[in-house]
Amino acid sequence: MEHEIKRLWIKKSTKAREDWEWLLNQAHIRPEETVDYTVAMYDGDGIIATGSLHQNVLKCIAVCKKYTGGGVINTLISHLMAEVFDRGYASCYVYTKPDAVQSFLYLGFQEIARVPNHLVFLEKSTKGFPIFLSELAKEKQEGKNIAGIVMNANPFTLGHQYLVEKASKENDVVHVFVLSEDLSVFPSDIRMQLVKKGTEHLKNVFVHGTGDYMVSAKTFPSYFLREDANVTEIQARLDAIIFRDHIAPSLAINRRYVGDEPYSFATNIYNGALEAEFAGSLELLIISRKEAEKEVISASRVRALIKENKTTETESLLPKTTYQFLLTEDGKKIIQRIQQKE
C-alpha cells in the first residue's frame, strides 16, 4: 500500500500540531519552532512519519518504530529534498544523530563534520563543501601569522571594527567571515557590505561569506539532542571542528580572534568550547570588548537604541560607514522594520 504524504499546517491547526508533537515525542524529539514547511506521512488515517524544513535545512524527522528500516524514511526525505530543490536551492542540509546517518548517505548526502556522540552535519549539493573550500583557497594570502574572525555584524559596530583592527595590527593577514545566513534584521548582503566598507582601510583584511557552513544559535537544530545536553557547547564544538579541520587549512589560518562578554553565560561557554577544540591546532585569542560610556559596544545595544527611536545616539557606537548607511533609504527601511518589530 502506498503511503500518503500531506502538508501539516502546524501553526494554524491545533489537530495538526497535536499529531506532529505526538509523533516527535514518540521518537524522543522536541518540537522546534524554526520551521517553515512540515509534512506527515499516513498509513490510512494513522500518522507514521513527519519531517520539516527551514529554508534548505531538513528538520524534525521522525518515523514510527513499526515503520523504521523500510522505505518510509527514504520516501519522506526524498519528498523534502524535492521541495528544497523546487524552491531553487542548490544544496540541502541535515543535522542528525550519529545512528541515523546511514539513511542520508544512502540518498546521496555527504558528511561535512560531526561532534562525536552528539550529531552529524551532512549535505546534498550540486556544488557542495569541497567546491566552497576550493573557492576559499583561491583567497589564500602569504604570511606567518594569519588570523580568522567570524561575526554576524547585525550591524557592524565600532566593537567589531576594534576587534578587526587589533587583529590587523597583530597579524600579517586577517580573514573575516560574515554569516551568510539571512535571519538577521540587517540582510546578509548589507552586513557584508558594511563589514567591507568598515574595514577597507585595513589592507591586510579580507572579507568572506560563510555559505551555509556556520550557523547561528537561532537555526542550530537542538531538537534531537538530549535535554541535558548543552546546546550552546555542542553548536560551538561543531563550528570549531568545521573551522579547525576545513576552513583554517584552506587559508592557512593559525589564530582565531573572538570578543569576550563577561556578562554572557552563553558566550563564555562558546569561547570555552572553541578553546578546547582548537587545543594543539589553532591559537584562540579572547579580546576584551570595546566600551562606550562604560558599557560594552554591541550590535544588540545599537538595535535597542533604534527600537527606542534613538538612532542619533548610535552614532558614537558605529563606524562612520555604518551610521551613514542608516541615513540612506535602505537604512531607513531597516530602522522602520526594527521599530515595528515586537
Print the SS3 string covering the chain.
Answer: CCCEEEECCCCCCHHHHHHHHHHHHHCCCCCCCCCCEEEEEEECCEEEEEEEEECCEEEEEEECHHHCCCCHHHHHHHHHHHHHHHCCCCEEEEEECHHHHHHHHHCCCEEEEEECCCEEEEEEECCCHHHHHHHHHCCCCCCCCEEEEEECCCCCCHHHHHHHHHHHHHCCEEEEEECCCCCCCCCHHHHHHHHHHHHCCCCCEEEEECCCCCCCCCCCCCCCCCCCCCHHHHHHHHHHHHHHHHHHHHHCCCEEEEECCCCCHHHHHHHHHHHHHHCCCCEEEEECCCEECCEECCHHHHHHHHHCCCHHHHHHHCCHHHHHHHCCHHHHHHHHHHHHCC
Residue 67: per-residue pLDDT: 80
- 160: confidence class by pLDDT, cuts 50, 70, 90: very high
- 223: confidence class by pLDDT, cuts 50, 70, 90: low
Select the highest-mean-pLDDT range: 28-37, 45-54, 320-329. 320-329
Name the CA radius of gyration of the chain, rounded.
22
Residue 342: per-residue pLDDT: 54
Instruction: Give the residue from 121, 130, 116 showing the smallest Cα distance to 92.
Output: 121
Residues written for the chain: 342
Alpha-carbon distances of 5 from 30, 69, 85, 160, 314, rounded to whole Å: 21, 18, 18, 47, 50
Q: What is the pTM of this model?
A: 0.89
Does the domain at 138-340 match CATH 3.90.1300.10? Answer given as no
1 pLDDT higher than 60: no
233 neighbors 191 (Cβ within 8 angstroms):
no
- 216: confidence class by pLDDT, cuts 50, 70, 90: low
CATH for 4-127?
3.40.630.30
Q: Average per-residue pLDDT in the chain?
A: 91
Select the highest-mean-pLDDT range: 45-59, 229-243, 325-339. 325-339
Residue 221: per-residue pLDDT: 67
Higher pLDDT pick, 279 / 262: 279
Alpha-carbon distances of 91 from 32, 83, 87, 330, rounded to whole Å: 22, 11, 11, 29
- 294: confidence class by pLDDT, cuts 50, 70, 90: confident
Cell numbers for 45, please give them. Answer: 488515517
Residue 166: per-residue pLDDT: 98
Alpha-carbon distances of 136 from 133, 174, 241, 270, rounded to whole Å: 5, 14, 17, 25
- 295: confidence class by pLDDT, cuts 50, 70, 90: confident
Of the ranges 8-17, 187-196, 215-224, which one carries the lowest mean pLDDT score? 215-224
209 pLDDT higher than 90: yes
Residue 341: per-residue pLDDT: 80
Instruction: Give the residue from 192, 195, 295 showing the smallest Cα distance to 305.
Output: 295
Residue 103: per-residue pLDDT: 86
Residue 289: per-residue pLDDT: 87
Domain residue spans of the chain: 4-127, 138-340
The proportion of the chain whose per-residue pLDDT surpasses 90, expressed as a percent, equals: 67
**How large is the average pLDDT for residues 150-165?**
96
Higher pLDDT pick, 4 / 325: 325
**How large is the average pLDDT for residues 133-141?**
96
219 pLDDT higher than 60: no
86 pLDDT higher than 90: yes
Tens digits of residue pLDDT in 7-29: 999 999 888 899 899 999 888 88
Residue 228: per-residue pLDDT: 61
Select the highest-mean-pLDDT range: 47-51, 168-172, 179-183, 218-222. 168-172
**How large is the average pLDDT for residues 233-258?**
94
Instruction: Give the residue from 250, 283, 286, 288 showing the smallest Cα distance to 271.
Output: 286
133 neighbors 250 (Cβ within 8 angstroms):
yes
Cell numbers for 49, please give them. Answer: 512519519
Instruction: Give the residue from 155, 201, 176 showing the smallest Cα distance to 323.
Output: 155
Q: What is the strand order of the sheet 119-125 is part of?
A: 4-7, 37-43, 46-54, 57-63, 91-96, 119-125, 110-115
Phi-psi map region of 44: left, alpha, beta (phi>0 left; psi -120 to 50 alpha): left
What is the spatial distance between Cα 236 and Cα 216, in angstroms, rounded to a whole number?
10
Residue 214: per-residue pLDDT: 82
114 pLDDT higher than 90: yes
